[in-house]
């Protein structure tokens, strides 16, 4: 029973991982750009949620969309102002560009909000459910389910709508997309917006049950990188499966061999997978 409890909470966390990884995988897959500031996007979204709640007194119903909107704008600005230019440069420039951005965001938060951990009140979303003996915190349930819905929604947008089709067209063949009358730069700015917005939603949801600090993005980003590498670059379903798997593995290893070693296990697994399958578990060559 306890094991089941652990697995369920792993799945709920995993679906949040899946959501914030899907933004990263979208950008990575579309442009072969790694956003090293991804974790800091999550961090900013968490602070958006926190301040929306403490200053504006609004609940998740409002602060989740707010975080999505703000992060969408951030994504577009970052693409137009920085990424669009560094992708043309050497690989080192890409890494430096987004890493530099990460530092600026992280330490601007540090400077503005101090290093103190803050968190939203536990009871912001309901208490705890008891489903057939399984105890599930409402905040985690909300976060997990919503994340799952949004990840699947994002996949549907990409595969079932004209916009998604155009986004994919640009990543498949930029010139051919132009021949269709598609403006590649506009599509990629939108992709960055979407990627960042989904990250924003994920961050706001995580804020419901996770501590908030300027450096929280660092470890979360690593999880996202692992998820994306395992799931295959550019694959939202891959991110979903890998995200759930990582969530469960973390929860199980935390329960079975101790919390500190769960990261060790995840990173080791990641390295082993890269070693065996250099393009990820579900990646295509």
Partner 1 sequence: MSLLSVRNLSVRYGDLVGVSDVSLEVPEGGVVALLGSNGAGKTTTLNAIAGLVPTAGGSVTWQGADITGRPAFAVVGLGLALSPEGWRLFVQQTVEQNLRLGATVLADRKRLPVLLDRVFTLFPRLAERRRQRAGTLSGGERQMLAMGRALMSDPKLLMLDEPSLGLAPAVVETMYETLGRLRGEGLTLLLAEQAVELALEVADYAYVLQTGRTVLDGTAAKLADDEDVRRIYLGLETE
Partner 2 sequence: MKHWPIALAGFVAIAAWPLLVHDVFLQRVGALVLLAAISASAWNLIGGYAGQVSVGHSIYFGIGAYAALTLYTELGWPPIAGAPIGMVVSMLIAVVIGTPTFRLRGHYFSMATIAAAELARILASNWPLVGAAVGLMGPPRPRSVADLSFISPVPYHYLFLAALVALLGLTWAMQRSRMGYYLAAIRGGDRAASSLGVPVLRYKLYALLLSAAFTSLAGSLYAVMVGFIDPESALGILISVKMVIVAALGGAGTLFGPLVGAIILVPLEETTNALYGGSGTGITFIIYGAIIVFVARFQPGGIAEIWRKLTERRPTRVS
Positions touching partner 2 (CB under 8 A) are 28, 32, 34, 82, 85-86, 89-97, 99-108, 110-111, 114-115, 218, 222, 225-226, 229, 260-261, 263-264, 267-268, 270-271, 274-275, 278-279
How far apart CA 197 and CA 20 sit, in angstroms, is 9
Q: Which partner from the list partner 1, partner 2, none does 162 bind, CB cut-off 5 to 8 Å by kind? A: partner 1
**Cα(117)–Cα(120) distance, rounded to whole angstroms?**
11
Report the residue from 56, 176, 257, 272 that binds partner 1 according to the rule CB under 8 A: 176
The answer to whether 5 and 68 have CB atoms below 8 angstroms apart is: no
Closest CA to 22 of 6, 9, 41: 41
180 binds, among partner 2, partner 1, none (CB under 5 to 8 A by kind): partner 1
166 makes contact, choosing from partner 1, partner 2, none, with CB < 5 to 8 Å by partner type, with partner 1
Residue position matching structure tokens 């804020």: 207
| Cβ 227 vs Cβ 1: under 8 Å | no
CA gap 111, 114 in Å, rounded = 5
Please give the structure tokens belonging to residue 9.
Answer: 């909470």
Q: Is 212 helix (H, G, I), strand (E, B) or coil?
A: strand
Mapping DSSP to helix (H, G, I), strand (E, B) and coil, where does residue 132 land? Answer: coil
Instruction: Considering the complex, state which of residue 62 and residue 169 has its C-beta at the smaller distance from partner 1.
Output: 169
Contact string 137-166 vs partner 1 (x = CB under 8 A): -------------------------x--xx
Q: Which is nearer to partner 2, 69 or 252 (CB)?
A: 252
Query: Is 93 a residue that touches partner 1 (CB under 8 A)?
Result: no
Do 200 and 16 meet the contact criterion of CB atoms below 8 Å apart? no
Binding residues for partner 1 restricted to 178-197, rule: CB under 8 A: 178-184
Q: Which does 101 bind (CB under 5 to 8 A by kind): partner 2, partner 1, none?
A: partner 2
Binding site for partner 1 (CB under 8 A): 162, 165-166, 168-169, 172-173, 175-184
């Amino acid at each position: 029973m306890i094991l089941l409890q652990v697995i369920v909470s792993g799945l709920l966390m995993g679906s949040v991982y899946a959501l914030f990884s899907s933004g990263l995988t979208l950008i990575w897959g579309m442009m072969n750009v790694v956003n090293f500031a991804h974790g800091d996007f999550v961090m900013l979204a968490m602070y958006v949620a926190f301040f929306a709640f403490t200053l504006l007194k609004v609940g998740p119903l409002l602060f989740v969309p707010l975080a999505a909107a703000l992060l969408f704008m951030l994504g577009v600005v970052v693409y137009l102002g920085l990424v669009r230019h560094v992708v043309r440069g050497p690989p080192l420039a890409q890494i430096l560009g987004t890493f530099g951005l990460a530092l600026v965001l992280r330490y601007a938060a540090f400077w503005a909000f101090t290093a103190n951990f803050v968190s939203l009140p536990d009871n912001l979303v309901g208490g705890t459910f008891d489903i057939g003996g399984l105890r599930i915190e409402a905040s985690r349930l909300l976060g997990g389910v919503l994340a799952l819905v949004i990840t699947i929604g994002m996949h549907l947008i990409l595969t079932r709508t004209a916009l998604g089709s155009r986004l994919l067209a640009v990543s498949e063949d930029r010139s051919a997309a132009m021949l269709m009358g598609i403006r590649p730069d506009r599509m990629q700015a939108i992709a960055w917006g979407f990627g960042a917005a989904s990250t924003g939603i994920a961050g706001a949801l995580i804020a419901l049950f996770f501590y908030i600090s300027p450096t929280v993005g660092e470890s979360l980003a690593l999880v996202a990188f692992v998820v994306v590498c395992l799931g295959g670059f550019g694959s939202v379903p891959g991110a979903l499966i890998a995200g759930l798997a990582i969530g469960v593995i973390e929860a199980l290893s935390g329960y079975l061999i101790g919390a500190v070693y769960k990261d060790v296990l995840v990173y080791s697994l990641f390295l082993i997978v890269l070693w065996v399958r250099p393009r990820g578990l579900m990646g295509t060559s």
